[in-house]
Amino acid sequence: MGKIRALVTGGAGFLGSHLCRRLVQEGWEVICMDNLLTGSMDNIADLLGNPLFQFIHYDVTQYVYVPGELHYILHFASPASPKDYLEHPIHTLKVGSLGTHKILGLAKEKKATVLLASTSEVYGDPQVHPQPEDYWGHVNPIGPRGVYDEAKRFMEAMAMAYHRTYGIPIRIARIFNTYGPNMRLNDGRALPNFFCQALKGEPLTVYGDGSQTRSFCYVDDLIEGLWRLLHCDYPYPVNLGNPEEVTILQVAKEIIDLTKSKSKIVFKPLPVNDPKVRRPDISKAKELLNWEPKIPRKEGFKKTLEYFKTQLQHTHAV
């Protein structure tokens, strides 16, 4: 067999771009496909001259054709922050359903292994804590967040149907809150909001009373988990995230301290169906992949701060 070839959909996005970089470092040929709805060419600028890397500007909800051999498909195309999927609800549903259908059809033709970027959002506003993979979730299918939650739940269901019917090798990563370089400044999620507000000296916006919890995983840790999952012969969902749980209010305070900002904290009403708690049970990832996050939040926040500082400087310079 020659070089391993992989297709990464959503490859110019936050996670997709880190994934492309890792696969190229491993010596794989990478085809990055992105319609740039929420992705950015800046995220993959350093890869563009690399002979192992190819970028295709394309929407995977259309028919997807890739000439030649294809060994792996990593389906990461989708708006991923509440701000994005509330702005693009129909596209979010289409990329999770039609996009997944096109990708699985391509995998069937190429006899490729598919890694799907699912999400902790399949658990909705959970009534079980922490969330193990065998928990079926508590999702409002017609609420504003349902467009993302149900698209990902449908994606998992369709992948399992293709696996059971055609024997396609499937990997499903249920990804919990992840952060790091290549996040968009205006992504709308808590960490980019907090970093930008603190660096600009603006008040940090905390929704509700800030007692809702999240578990933040640094992107390098997550990419290592995905790499291991890709090479593990297990077709069912695996949680990937950091089990260290923290309140949103605590995170806001940590970022004010880290940035030495004079910013105050302001409170706004909690969005509809916003999960109160979020923490992965990663015992399956430990057992199957010998994986757990290594990078402490303090260290990850420092690296992310440097990235956001640079991004803000570029924005002001333009």
| Catalytic residue list | 148
DSSP 232: S
SS3 category, 26: coil
* Residue 68 phi, psi dihedral angles, 5° rounding: 80, -175
Checking DSSP bridges between strand 5-9 and strand 72-75, what pairing results, if any? parallel
237 contacts 225 by C-beta, under 8 angstroms = no
> Token digits for 129?
């804590």
The answer to whether the peptide bond before residue 130 is cis (omega within 30 degrees of 0) is: yes
CB-hemisphere CA count at 13 Å for 192?
A: 19
Checking DSSP bridges between strand 204-207 and strand 213-215, what pairing results, if any? unpaired
DSSP 64: -
Q: In what order do the strands lie in the sheet with 72-75?
A: 53-57, 29-34, 5-9, 72-75, 113-119, 170-175, 237-240
> According to DSSP H, which parts of 113-203 are helical?
146-166, 190-200
Sequence-ordered list of residues with C-beta below 8 angstroms from that of 285, at least 6 positions apart, any chain: 225, 229, 238, 239, 240, 291, 292
174 contacts 214 by C-beta, under 8 angstroms = no
> Token digits for 257?
């301290």
15 contacts 219 by C-beta, under 8 angstroms = yes
